[in-house]
Amino acid sequence: MATIKIFNNDENRMETYFRREDEAMPYNTGNTLKVSEFRGSSRSDLLWTEKRAMQSWNSFRFMYGRPIRVGFAFKRPYEGGHGQQSQHYAGVAFDVGHNLNNAQRAEMRSLAYNSGVWTYVEPVSLSPTWVHFDRRRGTPACASGGYPVVRFGSIGAYVLVSQDSLSRLGYGTGGLDGVFGNATTNAVIAFQRSNGLTPDGIVGCMTWSTLMYRVTPQSACLEPID
């Protein structure tokens, strides 16, 4: 049984669901994405994503018209395996097509580009043996890419990434709820002070970079756009 937190982009609020491994993800239609597929190799009982990422999956799966095997989707930051500001840690990215040949992956990648449902589709030069697409949100805090700025009042999967990372490093946020409130602000300030950063309580470029460097395994790949 998994606890799944979803940011409802349409209503700007967090929702919580409880699902078995063989059940469909919340907001998934046609049972095309089970909890076990979204979880992938993660061992976490707590998962999160955003409604629009699920809707993008629904639309793309309908256009593709065939089952899509998911290699990797969700990961928690401390589990690593992806870039230090990976969209997988926000639960809005999918690595698929590992079971396809090059021509089939090229077809899927082209459809993903042209579908208009994904924010980013990784070029073949970065993922030659799989297809990566995601529904990332917001303007990156760093010019090189990555996560958007989150601060007091922010809601969503990126807040969960910050809360999870801070908590993992010993800076309590009062729980993982996806809502950037006073406790999360205080945790950010404490982290910033401990790491020589401006203690403004805002998770911007330098705070994201330092936080994710501290929490992700150093063996993780370093591409910030994945």
pLDDT tens sequence across 13-25: 999 999 999 999 9
Q: Does residue 219 have a pLDDT over 60?
A: no
3-state secondary structure of 35: helix
SS3 content of the chain, % helix, strand, coil (to 5): 30, 20, 50
The predicted model scores a pTM of: 0.94
> pLDDT tens across 119-177, in order?
999 999 999 999 999 999 999 999 989 999 999 999 999 999 999 999 999 999 999 99
Cβ–Cβ under 8 Å, residues 86 and 75: yes
Q: Does residue 223 have a pLDDT over 70?
A: no
Question: How many other CB atoms are there within 10 angstroms of residue 26's CB atom?
Answer: 19
Q: How far is CA 214 from CA 30, 65, 84, 173, 195, in A?
A: 39, 41, 9, 17, 10
Stretch 80-98: mean pLDDT = 95
CA pair distance 178, 80, nearest whole angstrom: 20
Stretch 193-203: mean pLDDT = 98
| Average confidence score pLDDT of the chain | 95
State both tokens at 108. Answer: 């899927």
